[in-house]
Amino acid sequence: MVLNNEEVFKLLNDSFLTILDRINEPIIVIDNNGVVIYVNNAYEYQVGISREKILYRNINDKYPNDKLLHVLKTGQQIKEDEHYNETLGFDIVASFIPLKDNDEKIKGVIGVGNTGAIYKLNKHLRSLVIKKNEKVAQKEDRTDLQFFKSIVSKDPKMLNCLGIAANVAKTEASVMLRGETGSGKELIAQGIHKTSNRAKYPFVEINCSAIPENLLESELFGYSSGAFTGAKSSGKTGKFEEAHNGTLFLDEIGDISCSTQVKLLRFTQERYIEKLGENKKIPVNVRIISATNRNLEQMVQQGEFRADLYYRLYVVPIFIPPLRQRFADISLLTYHFLNYYTQKYKKNLRITPDTLEFLQDYSWPGNVRELKNAIEHAVIMCRTNEITKDNLQLNVASVQAKPEFSTLDLNHSVEELEKTIIKEALAKAHNNKSKAIKYLGISRSAFYAKLEKYNII
């Protein structure tokens, strides 16, 4: 039997609900029949399950072994228990408290998650990314995969990226990471290296766009004594030699000059380099991981990037989604960074639901890196026990900003805007199409017709 609203508020009055909704720990409450009668904002945000999906469901039907039901039967409180939660499908750390009336009769159970261990909630999801690899991996190699498990995400697109990275790591294939600045390309490159057979050897990175064109070749390949005016008399060892037997991460590969592209192509074909100022061939054993946020395909068509080099580097591409397309990860990462920085700066802070919603509406042009900086700034500047929007240092113009389209082509502009709105609805609905349809207010047939029209997967 499902409780009506009047009975619910007998158990949980308005004031109590208001307090619970302002707590950052995820909270769930069931009645004496095992029916979920309440979850707070933090539960919805951190666990990633909407209230509509869980409220008024009887957990006896599918999850008879849930800890909430155990406490309901025994009346015994459980404190800080780490266990596999059957309802959620992954590990949690939580406390469970029976709710009793004046006659000590159990009227329900409240479950409270542990914010300090909130990312144990993701343990099961992250393990799915590399489940296949773990089955075939040798026992001594399994700890290598911990790097990918440690990456905080429950977004399906991001988990797919981590799965590809884990699969390709043990091979010698060249990998190209595609994505916006701050989306995590360097982190995934490090993960591929640390999970590879080259993990004991150097991981050397270089940002090709940060070094002047006339100096990039010498940085990559090194130079001999007297190679050019101002060169060191002892010469210089290049990044390729530094990365011998290891991995060379070439960030912003789209910014290298044509002459450097030629020398890089020669290495991918012959596996040797030549320093500037000498003709000696130096064999080097290096795996290349490259990254870019530029449209290399267009650059190839325009003759700005060599097609033969493109195909040498583009053996396994990994497309990393921007943070604005990882709706569930915004709250997850927010609490992750909040937990980290409150411990670092020895503060006890909470983040208000309005502030979290504000962060989810923000477009994050700087991606995860910008979110991390924003939370650190807020923790440092906050002078109360709650982080509000006033503590954030963000580009307010980016909040709910929509792309600008040309007004000279009305049909194209309308289609682009329509496509953007559909993608945002899907992101907000965690890719649940039925929920996205409700957000958009259109028919199911119209929704699927538009997905096909705009090739939205």
Q: What is the CATH number of the domain that holds 96?
A: 3.30.450.20
Confidence of residue 197 (pLDDT cuts 50, 70, 90): very high
- Identify the pLDDT of residue 345: 93
71 in a domain, yes or no?
yes
Q: Are residues 421 and 368 in the same domain?
A: no
176 in a domain, yes or no?
yes
Q: Which domain does 420 fall in, by range?
A: 410-453
360 residue type, one letter: Q
Strand partners, 30: 36, 109
For residue 218, pLDDT over 80 is answered with: yes
129 in a domain, yes or no?
no
For residue 95, pLDDT over 90 is answered with: no
The owner of tokens 């090709």 is: 208
- Identify the pLDDT of residue 226: 64
Single residue among 113, 134, 157 that ends a domain in this structure: 113
Distance CA 412, CA 33 (A): 55
Q: Are residues 53 and 153 in the same domain?
A: no
Sheet of 106-113: strand order equals 36-39, 27-31, 106-113, 90-100, 78-85
The answer to whether residues 329 and 161 touch, using CB atoms and an 8 Å cutoff, is no
For the chain, how many structural domains are there in total? Answer: 4
Mean pLDDT of 420-437: 78
Confidence of residue 1 (pLDDT cuts 50, 70, 90): very low
Mean pLDDT of 123-140: 45
* Lowest mean per-residue pLDDT among 200-204, 383-387, 448-452: 448-452
- Identify the pLDDT of residue 139: 43
Q: Are residues 30 and 167 in the same domain?
A: no
The owner of tokens 């190679």 is: 227
Mean pLDDT of 379-402: 77
The answer to whether residues 350 and 23 touch, using CB atoms and an 8 Å cutoff, is yes
Q: Within 13 A of 455's CA, how many CA atoms are on the CB side?
A: 0
The answer to whether residues 290 and 175 touch, using CB atoms and an 8 Å cutoff, is yes
115 residue type, one letter: T
428: CATH: 1.10.10
Most confident stretch, 151-160, 216-225, 367-376, 420-429:
367-376
Confidence of residue 57 (pLDDT cuts 50, 70, 90): confident
119 in a domain, yes or no?
no
- DSSP state, residue 320: P
Show the CA angle centred on residue 19, arms to residues 17 and 22, nearest 5°: 110
- Identify the pLDDT of residue 47: 63
Q: Are residues 48 and 82 in the same domain?
A: yes
Confidence of residue 55 (pLDDT cuts 50, 70, 90): confident
- For residue 125, CA distances in Å to 48, 89, 163, 210 come to 12, 8, 12, 37
Q: Are residues 185 and 297 in the same domain?
A: yes
Single residue among 319, 351, 368 that ends a domain in this structure: 319
pTM of the model as a whole: 0.59
Residues in the chain: 457
- Identify the pLDDT of residue 118: 42
For residue 406, pLDDT over 90 is answered with: no
405 in a domain, yes or no?
no
* Lowest mean per-residue pLDDT among 49-53, 229-233, 418-422: 229-233
Q: Are residues 293 and 206 in the same domain?
A: yes
- Identify the pLDDT of residue 132: 45
Confidence of residue 92 (pLDDT cuts 50, 70, 90): low
Distance CA 414, CA 454 (A): 12
Q: Are residues 105 and 92 in the same domain?
A: yes
Q: Are residues 172 and 285 in the same domain?
A: yes
Confidence of residue 224 (pLDDT cuts 50, 70, 90): confident
What digits encode the pLDDT tens for the residues 343-359? 999 999 999 888 988 89
Q: Are residues 303 and 161 in the same domain?
A: yes
- Identify the pLDDT of residue 187: 93
Distance CA 7, CA 268 (A): 71
For residue 242, pLDDT over 60 is answered with: yes
- Identify the pLDDT of residue 432: 78
123 in a domain, yes or no?
no
* Lowest mean per-residue pLDDT among 7-21, 201-215, 242-256, 384-398: 7-21
404 in a domain, yes or no?
no
- Identify the pLDDT of residue 6: 53
The answer to whether residues 74 and 60 touch, using CB atoms and an 8 Å cutoff, is no
Single residue among 319, 342, 359 that ends a domain in this structure: 319
The mean pLDDT of the chain is 80
- Identify the pLDDT of residue 253: 95
Q: Are residues 176 and 86 in the same domain?
A: no
* Lowest mean per-residue pLDDT among 48-62, 114-128, 379-393: 114-128
- Identify the pLDDT of residue 23: 72
208: CATH: 3.40.50.300
Handedness of CA 418, 423, 427, 429 (dihedral sign): positive
For residue 370, pLDDT over 50 is answered with: yes
Confidence of residue 79 (pLDDT cuts 50, 70, 90): confident
Mean pLDDT of 380-392: 92
For residue 286, pLDDT over 90 is answered with: yes
Q: Which is more confidently placed, 81 or 309?
A: 309
280 in a domain, yes or no?
yes
What digits encode the pLDDT tens for the residues 6-43? 555 555 555 566 667 777 678 888 888 888 888 887 77
* Lowest mean per-residue pLDDT among 22-31, 147-156, 389-398: 389-398
Show the CA angle centred on residue 339, arms to residues 334 and 341, nearest 5°: 95
Confidence of residue 397 (pLDDT cuts 50, 70, 90): very low
- Identify the pLDDT of residue 129: 47
Q: Are residues 162 and 107 in the same domain?
A: no
- Identify the pLDDT of residue 193: 95
What digits encode the pLDDT tens for the residues 100-131? 877 788 888 888 876 544 444 444 444 444 45
Distance CA 379, CA 395 (A): 18
- Identify the pLDDT of residue 229: 61
Q: Are residues 230 and 298 in the same domain?
A: yes
Terminal-residue alpha carbon distance, the chain: 40
The answer to whether residues 109 and 99 touch, using CB atoms and an 8 Å cutoff, is yes
